Structure 1
Amino acid sequence: MKICPKCHEEVEDSFEICWNCNYSFPDDKILDLSAVEEADDSGRSIDCLRCQVKMIYSGKYEFHEGMNTGVFGNLFELFQNREAFDLYVCPKCGKVEFFVPLNEEYRLR
């Protein structure tokens, strides 16, 4: 654990930004996350339910049921049920949320 020099909170060693005050250890300054422009293809603006800060769009991720089995693993992948979700991450608390994409290709019927 390391101590934030601005707010004196304990922060995990692997974190580059303080979870409490948004202090950036590499940049040696407090980041203004309200000015962060996200490259959001999803068309949504989502706030974290815990922190009430804008969540950052991480991208569209595809998940599937089943597993790769032996030599024919990739062939069997063709028959697996696949779902795609938009993933959002809270820059303050690290909460992750999944949403069904808004575009017509993935909309639930």
Structure 2
Amino acid sequence: MCQRCNVALEDLGEYNFRTGGATGVGGMLLGGWNQLAEGKVTFDLKICPSCRHVDFYLRS
């Protein structure tokens, strides 16, 4: 339930976010090797159809 509107949240599905790795020139120089330093965090996303607020739930 949306804490703002008291409306049931709709499921947007699972989303993966990349974390870490080098940015800028360092990332360009490393090329594909830069991906070795990256991690991935997965969230389930839910949205309120009324106020459009999005909630992130960390997947374990």
TM normalised by structure 2 equals 0.74
Q: 1:83 aligns with which of 30, 33, 41?
A: 41
Q: 2:15 aligns with which of 61, 77, 81?
A: 61
Q: Which runs of 5+ in 1 are unaligned?
A: 1-46, 102-106
SS in 2 for 1:76: helix
Aligned residues: 56
Distance 1:56 1:90 in 2: 6
Superposition CA RMSD, Å: 1.9
Structure with larger Rg:
1
TM superposition shift of 1:71: 5.7
Distance 1:100 1:73 in 2: 29
Percent identity over paired residues: 32
Q: Which has the higher helix share?
A: 2
What corresponds to 1:48 in structure 2? 2
Q: Which has the higher strand share?
A: 2
Residues 91, 79 of structure 1: alpha-carbon distance in 2 compared, 3 angstrom cutoff:
same
Q: Does 1:92 align with 2:50?
A: yes
The answer to which of 74-83 and 86-95 deviates more is 74-83
Letter in 2 for 1:64: R
TM normalised by structure 1 equals 0.44
